Amino acid sequence: MATVRLPDGKELNVEKGEKARDVVEKIGPRLLKDAVVVKLDGEIRDLDAPVDGDGDFEVVTKDSPDGLYVLRHSTAHAMAQAVLELYPGSKLTIGPPIQDGFYYDIEVSGKISDDDLPRIEERMREVVERELPIEREEMSKAEVEELYKDNPYKLELINDLEDGDITVYRQGDFFDLCRGPHVPTTGSIGAFKLQNLAGAYWRGDEKNTMLTRIYGTAWPTEKQLKAYLKRLEEARERDHRKIGKDLELFTFSPDVGAGIPLFLPKGETLRHLMESYVRDVQTRHGYDHVWSGNIANQKLYEKSGHLEHYIDDMFPPMEDGETKYRLKPMNCPSHMTIFNARAHSYRDLPVRYAEFATLYRYEKSGQLTGLTRVRALTQDDAHVFCTEDQVQEEFARALEIIREVLDTYGFSDYRVQLSLRDPEGGKYIANEEKWARAEQELRDALERAEIPYEPEVGEAAFYGPKADFMAKDVLGREWQLSTIQVDFLQPERLGCEYIGEDGERRTPVLLHRAVTGTTERFMAVLVEHFGGVFPVWLSPVQAVVIPISDKHVEYAEAVKKRLSESDLRVEVDDSVNTMQKKIRDNARQKVPYLLIVGDREAEEGSVNVRKRGEGKKQEAMTIEEFAGRVSVEVEAKK
């Protein structure tokens, strides 16, 4: 017999080798209907897996994160089976679950387009209705190679595996090389929808074959699927690329180049407001702002380690005789050079530099997406040079800034990911002792601030661990925004020093810190978060004065002049359109206030105010009253 411990602490005696599904049935027959897999001592296994010893036992249902992962993985297999049945001769490669869904990369035999997705969906439903058992088989490497002798992609994957128990999953005539686990039958698959096709190079290498990637989403119930599709539709309406065009914020042009955004007057106003706000907060917290240019000598990046570890993301060099220059991909080496421009003692520390610097990163064209992934980006970067004893205090200061800014923008739901080094990875500067110190400092800082965090191995920067702030917008989508990083390595490489209390030369610790990440990406997030309905303080245009007829244009201009003197951003709509069309057009521009002026307003020195979101409701007030009201809103960041 074996004894398993349930999540509530109870123990259950089972026969060794008994199937997990039988153990679940002993716990509760109803539970077996909801189960997709189980966890044995934290390892996810199929319901048909044997329980071969004592340990913790947990039932995983479709609604749990692990259950959804398995459900989506199994749905990807059902899709692959449907494609093979409809397009004989197609070759499968890989098909993983992803957030909210799944995809499969396939070399499709024949032509396929988005118009074919409903047909594939219908065949998937047939696969589900067959209630095919999904069974795990263990094979030798030679057996699996024979099974896939006509599929070069799978053979390449198999070649990377060690000989032993390699697993294949079967459902009817379909089989796939896979670690699993999976739901027990195709009938256990829930609600799904195929979404779109895309091109994808085999193993992400543009030198390899272009495959067809089919994306889909899967959920336990039809109700959850419909709710997700509704959220997607709302997200499409909030797409920053659409809103950015409608509100005349930014544009892209092939004449300038892919991934290089051009900001129109309203977009530049928005950028300026965003950056000025963060600049003011940083100044209040003792940061000095610097500027460090757009290019730098390549040797600087050799010293810092960026050329070795970051070269694939850098633009090719420009040569001036024997000197090679690079477009600046990050600020830290330049800020360390500024630090080195004069001598420092322990009394000077901490030294805090901040800069809104445009950086250039050679993103692949297929990865460029609106403002969220660009090649020219402006980072609200800051670097703090401090002693080891000051790390905790400076981390707390950076955290206070981040919290204030995110709260002001309405991002109150966020979590922290502690990005750590993968000891087996080769992309990091080698120094075991300093890595251990940096990671411990960051853990201690988070715990002292009583911030829960989720460790993520392999996501650290090449020079140190980092705390990444993952914020959710109004649609529940998660974005990586702020970051704080601890670096014991780069300052030594670039010769940063200060004189300690004992008169000895010492190397400072460097904290890298960004509040909003990059202006471009954060603007995209804000546009979608607010749906273009920016708070008054952030709106590029805060009010539009609408004259009832041409004879009222002169008074409208006077209103604009008076409000501009109160530092409000105001325009006059003196177009030839009717008053009602002007109201509709400016309402579509999501302007916070529309000010209607005619004979009465001109005589009384007043404006008739329509506030965004309040329909046709109008309120008469003097120009001074209106200026005072809006100024209060701006001051309160509303």
Q: Is the pTM above the cut of 0.85?
A: no
Does residue 154 lie within any of the structural domains? Answer: no
Record the tokens describing residue 118, joined without a space: 């409903």
Domain that holds residue 223: 66-136+169-228
Span 93-106, pLDDT tens digits: 999 999 899 999 99
Same domain, 508 and 631: no
Active site residue 381: yes
Residues 593, 602: Cα–Cα separation, whole Å? 18
- Catalytic residue list contains 383: yes
Looking at 508, 530, 552, which one is the last position of a domain?
A: 530
Catalytic residue among 81, 379, 490, 589: 379
| pLDDT at res. 423 | 72
Name the token pair of 571: 């325009």
Whether residues 481 and 617 fall in one domain:
no
329: in domain: yes
502 catalytically annotated: no
Question: Annotated catalytic residue: which of 105, 116, 176, 381?
Answer: 381
The enclosing domain of 390 has a CATH number of 3.30.930.10
- Residue-level pLDDT at 146: 94
- The separation between the first and the last C-alpha atoms of the chain, rounded to the nearest angstrom, is 65
Q: Is 581 a catalytic residue?
A: no
CATH number at residue 33: 3.10.20.30
Same domain, 195 and 102: yes
Q: End of a domain among 504, 530, 556?
A: 530
Q: State which of 93-107, 389-403, 452-466 shows the largest mean pLDDT.
A: 93-107
Condensed to tens digits (0 to 9), the pLDDT of residues 336-365 reads: 999 999 999 999 999 999 999 999 999 888
Distances (CA, A) of 295 to 252, 316, 508: 23, 12, 25
Looking at the fold, whether 75 and 220 belong to one and the same domain comes out as yes
Query: Are residues 615 and 495 both part of a single domain?
Result: no
Asked if the structure places residue 28 within a domain, the reply is: yes
Catalytic residue among 512, 513, 521, 560: 512
- What's the structural domain count of the chain? 4
pLDDT at 418: 85
Q: What is the pLDDT of residue 427?
A: 64
Is the pLDDT at 280 greater than 90? The verdict is yes
The residue from 493, 515, 530 where one domain ends is 530
Q: Are both 220 and 81 inside the same structural domain?
A: yes
Q: Do the domain assignments include residue 234?
A: no
Q: Say yes or no: 190 and 261 in one domain.
A: no
Q: What confidence tier does 436 reach under pLDDT thresholds 50, 70, 90? A: confident
493 and 590 within one domain: no
Is 66 labeled as catalytic in the residue annotation?
Answer: no
Residues 525 and 547 in one domain: no
Catalytic position from the list 466, 513, 569, 610: 466
pLDDT at 237: 87
Spatial distance between the Cα atoms of 179 and 16, rounded to a whole number of angstroms = 23
Kind plus residue range of the DSSP H or E element containing 533: none
Question: 488 near 436, Cβ under 8 Å?
Answer: no
Calculate the average pLDDT of the chain: 91
User: Distance between CA 536 and CA 611 in Å, rounded?
Assistant: 11
Per residue in 160-191, pLDDT tens? 888 888 999 999 999 999 999 999 999 999 99
| pLDDT at position 593 | 97
Q: What's the CATH code of the domain at 90?
A: 3.30.980.10
Q: Which of 383, 529, 552, 569 is catalytic?
A: 383
